[in-house]
Amino acid sequence: MSEDQQLRVSKITEGTVIDHVTGGQALNVLAILGIDGSGGEEVSIGMNVPSERLGRKDVVKVEGRELSQDEVDVLSLIAPAATINIVRDYDVVEKHRVERPSEVVGVLQCPNRNCITTKDEPVDSRFAVLEEGVRCAYCDTIIRESIADHIHVD
């Protein structure tokens, strides 16, 4: 492939590169990170780019921000094959794959309207992370598809 045919996205000076995101999930990644374009963050996104490992993938670069473990845990629900690269002074100084936690607290909304977490009770949602989805710890509702639609991050 010639240089003219390659996708070119500039390197970031300091921040995080989230690579190997499941194709089509980049906008959900931005939502999880609370990035909506109004905060002045510099963000580069590659969507549905070719990947040997995934077939198609998304890539998200966020200048000036390193992700918290809580953010990485939530990302793992929609992008279980993602890698997190921490960049400082243009160099990758840390690289690791996301690991799915055993549970997530306060980041998903239970779709069961009768669940205590959907009432006016001071209870954080709590979901066990399963291989095939997530299960509410209070009402046992299982979410298998479209987990991103249930993410609620303050």
Annotated ligand binding at 110? The verdict is: yes
Tokens of 68: 């918290």
Task: Look at residue 134 and give its three-state secondary structure.
Answer: strand
Annotated ligand binding at 154? The verdict is: no
Annotated ligand binding at 58? The verdict is: no
121 φψ region: left (φ > 0), alpha (ψ -120 to 50), beta (else): beta
CA 93 to mean position of chain CA atoms: 20
Annotated ligand binding at 2? The verdict is: no
CA 79 to mean position of chain CA atoms: 6
Q: How far is CA 103 from CA 33, 72, 91, 106, 127, in A?
A: 19, 13, 33, 10, 5
Binding site feature residues for Zn(2+): 110, 115, 136, 139
Binding site feature residues: 110, 115, 136, 139
